[in-house]
Structure 1
């Protein structure tokens, strides 16, 4: 029997062609949900949809039109969206991320932050109007609670993703909208493989399989937790950052020095989802 909060619920997963998104879709199916998936990679998405016997809606959910279109089409396919997994995310970080272009910043803000805002803008009013509520799940990152060495746009946009999820929870949590932020460290995805000298740092507390992230999310449902931390160690780091920020920053600067020593070659960057 599937989880009672997921069985026969209509669910949407963005960035579902691979990685965490695919794992979330697969787990939702296993829990008895009816699932729609979306991704920019239409070919890979259709393969996932065929394997899992779910509905593919390829497209760009980060644009205002794409977000509205996804909510409309997924609602038609499912009857109602009960769970929305806002998982799609990108990293365009270059070796000197302070010099990242405005175009890279804009693209990462669109995908990592504004996609969540634009979907919620279309979806939350529906949840409030019918009085049944819903669940909005953001795949952020431990970078959204801490920071990512060498990756300014990624760190900033993931902080913003967590911030928006917090705001949604504060504003609509008492009106039936459950909100969660999944914040893993290293996960065995293409993004980790392309992280260059950061790979070992991100894997320090074990690089998890995407399926383990999906498992952590399902396990969190019974506890009603906002933060889903597949790497439990992140809770300690987050607490240290809050309670002794200067000491935490000093530790991070020491890590930066180590990364600088390793960064003779390799370029962080890539997509995840």
Structure 2
């Protein structure tokens, strides 16, 4: 996908990967970048730092009516949406003991928000015969987020949903990409490390932490090649192969790592 003169929407765009994507899309020549976030003030700050092509709005991605309203408003103002980035995500930092409210929030943000945006944006894209969906899914969606059961389950679901969309709509001109970074230097990771979440400690111990800008670089390259699976950490592909070839050995290795970190 060539981003020149494209109309783009980025959810969770007020910080981390979302803000980096928004900046990079503008730098690549996008005609408009709509930055949507639950924190509307932070979204406006990012938009102001980018310049006239950026437009900020508040958005709760778990509210389907709000998602549809953002899509409708963007299409009215700019005529179309070429690229929709469902980027917002949440972690829990816990296992089966996380309460139902925590599981529900993870499900609604990490999965249903992707469903809501697809429902809203696909009709216009299909009528025009083209469009691209970029879903931020995490390496947890192809591997496991040690220490975070809800994040693991919902990110697997988000990858599965993105794959379903790609299979179902690619022949009708819709491209779908699943962005699956591993460790990224974002407030989400910093909060997890500070609070002692096991998954965050595993990422920290790996030493393979990218900046949001590096993830944005990988996303741009993947979009240009119209790849389904975009892996900013290329080693994730090797991990996924090892996991598929020897699931028992893969799990044994992770259990060993967990024992070392929790000793």
Shorter-chain-normalised TM-score: which range? over 0.9
Q: What's 2:236 paired with?
A: 234
Distance apart, 1:114 and its partner CA: 0.3
Unaligned runs of 5+ residues in structure 2 are none
Q: Please list every run of at least 4 consecutive aligned residues from structure 1 whose deviation after the TM superposition is greater than 3 angstroms.
A: 197-200
| 8 Å contact from structure 2 (residues 146, 202) kept in 1 | no
Give the Cα–Cα distance (whole angstroms) in 2 for the partners of residues 257 and 46 of structure 1: 44
2:105 paired residue among 107, 111, 116: 107
Report what 1:8 is aligned to.
5
C-alpha displacement at 1:241, in angstroms?
Answer: 1.0
Matched, 1:48 2:36: no
Alpha-carbon distance between aligned partners in 2 of 1:116 and 1:183, rounded to the nearest angstrom: 15
* Residue number in structure 2 paired with 1:35: 33
Seen in structure 2, the aligned counterparts of structure 1 residues 205 and 78 have a Cα distance that, compared at 3 Å, is: farther
Which position in structure 1 is the counterpart of 2:220? Answer: 218
Q: What is the TM-score with the length of structure 2 in the denominator?
A: 0.93
Q: Give the CA deviation at 1:205.
A: 4.6
* CA RMSD, 1 decimal: 1.3
Structure 1's 205 and 235: CA in aligned 2 closer, same or farther, altered over 3 A? farther
1:245 to 244, 247, 256: 247
- In structure 2, C-alpha distance between the alignment counterparts of 1:7 and 1:242, rounded to whole Å: 39
TM-score, normalised with respect to structure 1: 0.90
Partner Cα distance (2:92, 2:201) in 1? 19
Aligned residues: 255
Q: Please give the per-residue CA displacement for 1:55-99, whole angstroms capped at 9, x wherever unaligned.
A: 1111212222122112112222322100011100111234xx211
The SS at the match of 2:58 is: coil
Q: Does 1:26 align with 2:23?
A: yes
**Is residue 2:89 matched to residue 1:89?**
yes
Once the two structures are TM-superposed, the CA of residue 200 in structure 1 deviates from its matched residue by 4.4
